[in-house]
């Protein structure tokens, strides 16, 4: 358990979390490894986990009829995978595939939700951290939508 | 910090003179981007340039386009220009073959300041065809590898097939103390690399904000978000350099086509220290 605390403290998502909140969180956490090409989450299934990525890389993909799995984003060390666990109806909107051997801390969603409900300070702390992740992802998605390499690079300087 | 960047230009009397050169090789980097290798032996004599400078390439009877030089500055005899096919002149250039002759005048403009990067870490952040004007920088850094700290190359492209210089990217990664991170906006299941915007790659590197110089080149919107991200990570913005893109005609500051506020991109740039142009970056219709 002590080792897990150290690992959790090293993850940027939990940087600065109080000892009390860390103790609240740790009961929901397990250390999980995924081999290359294994699936962490599946589109449409119950979002019963929340992952902190320690090493490796996970691709978020969605099935498009006639085109197969389209990869739309990767998450890597220091990042988190998934927020559907916090938002009803708790279903994954994308699938997550390990594109290389990946080490994670998996947090049990139901355990975490219960603790967020019963400890409002802890819940708010989690929400603030997730909101920051969501804000960055939204910004990145908007940039991707701009297709900036396609429309603005004239090739005439540079 | 030097405000005036090195600028190796032709004497004004020669500045508008176009010289014929022969195309030695055409390499297609992706569906709409190609690299012309020009044979510089002959008419232009000993041609030299600094990383970041550009030439005006002339297709006889059609017109000129400003194109960054993308080859190794220490290489003699040939010059590379990597060109995105988008307009009349670049389309005409794309139809040229080995042995064809085009006109060249240059080099023009300011260069990436390598002297300020000595003993420091260097972070090259680029997207799309923006890698082309930074390729001479990477060659120069690697040539004098021991004079610099870590070299970090962050490169974003539209898709895996759109990436430029794929073989070289792998070769650079094998060099001593060089980190190369590549990301694309979209990929299929065969792509094992990063997917996301180039700024997201900054979260995977340890940036020593006290000792890093950043060179940034790409679409303006990419550079804007990159600057925000570098600022968020504590990098002093006077250590950030950008290469700007505007339509150029004369390349010597006469015609005003590339005027950007009080500066001319062709003559004062294209490489600028960020503080010099930051106030202009957010202005509309400039």
Instruction: Find the CB nearest A153 among B128, B187, B244.
Output: B128
How far is B65 from chain A, CA to nearest CA, in Å? Answer: 6
CATH of residue B81's domain is 2.40.30.10
The residue in chain A having the minimum alpha-carbon distance to the alpha carbon of residue B54 is A157
**Does position A51 have pLDDT exceeding 90, yes or no?**
yes
Mean pLDDT of the region B139-167? 94
pLDDT single digits (tens) B187-205: 888 888 999 999 999 999 9
Residue B178 lies in a domain: yes
Does B246 share its domain with B179?
yes
The residue in chain A having the minimum alpha-carbon distance to the alpha carbon of residue B229 is A136
B contacts of A140 (beta carbons < 8 Å): 196-197, 199-200
Residues B18 and B47: their CA atoms lie apart, in Å, by 13
Residues A80 and A88: their CA atoms lie apart, in Å, by 19
pLDDT single digits (tens) B97-132: 999 999 998 889 889 999 999 999 999 999 999 999
Main-chain dihedrals φ then ψ at residue B22, nearest 5 degrees? -100, 140
Q: Residue B151 has what pLDDT?
A: 96
Of B87, B108, B129, the residue at which a domain comes to its end is B108
Instruction: Find the CB nearest A73 among B156, B196, B217.
Output: B196
Does B160 share its domain with B189?
yes
Q: Taking the CA atoms of chain A, what radius of gyration do you get in angstroms? A: 17
pLDDT single digits (tens) A92-101: 999 999 999 9
Residues A51 and A43: their CA atoms lie apart, in Å, by 15
The residue in chain A having the minimum alpha-carbon distance to the alpha carbon of residue B94 is A155
**Does position B12 have pLDDT exceeding 80, yes or no?**
no
Size of interface A-B (CB pairs under 8 A): 128
Does B71 share its domain with B206?
no
The residue in chain A having the minimum alpha-carbon distance to the alpha carbon of residue B242 is A158
H-state helical runs in B145-264: 166-174, 220-232
Q: Which of B195, B207, B233, B247 to mutate to test the interface with A (most CBs of A within 10 A)?
A: B195
Q: Determine what percent of chain A is predicted with pLDDT higher than 70.
A: 93
- A128-137, B150-159, B238-247: the lowest-pLDDT one: B238-247
The token pair at B36 is: 């012309």
The residue to which tokens 């073959």 are assigned: B97
ipTM metric = 0.84
Of B56, B86, B108, the residue at which a domain comes to its end is B108
**Where along chain A do its domains lie?**
2-142
Burial code (b: 16+ CB inside 10 Å, e: under 16) for A137-157 equals bebbeebbebebbeebbbbbb
Confidence tier at B8 by pLDDT (50, 70, 90): low
Does B97 share its domain with B176?
no
Q: Assign domain A2-142 one CATH number from 2.60.120.10, 3.20.20.60, 3.40.50.1370, 3.10.25.10.
A: 2.60.120.10
Residues A125 and A131: their CA atoms lie apart, in Å, by 10
Q: Residue B244 has what pLDDT?
A: 79
Q: Is B67 on the interface with A (CB under 8 A)?
A: yes
Q: Residue B119 has what pLDDT?
A: 93
Q: Do B219 and A153 touch (CB under 8 A)?
A: yes
CATH of residue B231's domain is 3.40.50.80
Mean pLDDT of the region A83-94? 91
Q: Do B84 and A153 touch (CB under 8 A)?
A: yes
How far is A119 from chain B, CA to nearest CA, in Å? Answer: 31
Q: Residue A148 has what pLDDT?
A: 80
Instruction: Find the CB nearest B33 among A152, A155, A156.
Output: A155
Instruction: Find the CB nearest B270 among A69, A78, A157.
Output: A157
Does B96 share its domain with B182?
no
Of B108, B124, B149, the residue at which a domain comes to its end is B108
Q: Number of structural domains, chain B?
A: 2
B contacts of A60 (beta carbons < 8 Å): 195
Q: How many CA atoms lie within 13 A of B111 on its CB side?
A: 23
Residues B76 and B79: their CA atoms lie apart, in Å, by 8
Per the structure, the complete domain to which residue B102 belongs is given by: 12-108
Q: Residue B45 has what pLDDT?
A: 63
Q: Do B217 and A158 touch (CB under 8 A)?
A: yes
């Amino acid at each position: 358990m002590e080792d897990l605390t150290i690992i959790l403290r090293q993850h940027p998502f939990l940087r600065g979390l109080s000892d009390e909140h860390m103790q609240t969180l740790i009961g929901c956490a397990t250390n999980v490894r995924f081999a290359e090409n294994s699936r962490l989450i599946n589109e449409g299934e119950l979002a019963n986990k929340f992952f902190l990525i320690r090493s490796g890389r996970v691709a978020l993909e969605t099935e498009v009829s006639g085109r197969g799995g389209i990869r739309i984003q990767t998450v890597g060390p220091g990042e988190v995978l998934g927020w559907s666990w916090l938002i009803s109806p708790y279903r994954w909107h994308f699938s997550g595939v390990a594109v290389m051997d990946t080490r994670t801390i998996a947090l049990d969603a139901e355990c975490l939700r219960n603790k967020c409900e019963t400890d409002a300070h802890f819940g708010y702390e989690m929400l603030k951290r997730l909101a920051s992740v969501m804000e960055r992802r939204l910004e990145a998605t908007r940039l991707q939508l701009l297709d900036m390499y396609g429309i603005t690079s004239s090739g005439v300087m540079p | 910090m030097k405000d005036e960047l090195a600028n190796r230009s032709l004497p004004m009397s020669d500045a508008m003179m176009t010289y014929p050169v022969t195309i030695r090789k055409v390499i297609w980097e992706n569906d709409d981007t190609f690299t012309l290798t020009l044979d510089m032996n002959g008419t232009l004599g000993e041609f030299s340039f600094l990383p970041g400078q550009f030439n005006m390439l002339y297709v006889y009877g059609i017109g000129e386009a400003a194109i960054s030089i993308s080859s190794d500055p220490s290489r003699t005899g040939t010059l590379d220009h990597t060109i995105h096919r988008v307009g009349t002149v670049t389309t005409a250039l794309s139809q040229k073959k080995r042995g064809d002759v085009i006109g060249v005048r240059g080099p023009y403009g300011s260069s990436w300041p390598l002297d300020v990067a000595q003993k420091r870490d260097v972070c090259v952040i680029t997207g799309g065809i923006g890698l082309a004007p930074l390729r001479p920088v990477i060659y120069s850094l690697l040539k004098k590898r021991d004079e610099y700290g870590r070299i970090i190359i962050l490169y974003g492209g539209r898709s895996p097939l759109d990436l430029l210089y794929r073989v070289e990217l792998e070769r650079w990664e094998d060099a001593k103390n060089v980190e190369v991170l590549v990301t694309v906006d979209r990929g299929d299941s065969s792509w094992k690399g990063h997917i996301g915007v180039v700024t997201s790659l900054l979260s995977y590197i340890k940036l020593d904000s006290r000792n890093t110089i950043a060179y940034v080149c790409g679409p303006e919107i990419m550079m804007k978000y990159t600057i925000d991200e570098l600022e968020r990570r504590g990098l002093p913005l006077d250590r950030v350099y950008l290469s700007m893109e505007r339509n150029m005609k004369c390349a010597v500051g006469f015609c005003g086509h590339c005027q950007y506020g009080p500066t001319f991109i062709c003559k004062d740039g294209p490489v600028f220290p960020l503080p010099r142009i930051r106030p202009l970056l957010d202005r509309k219709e400039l």
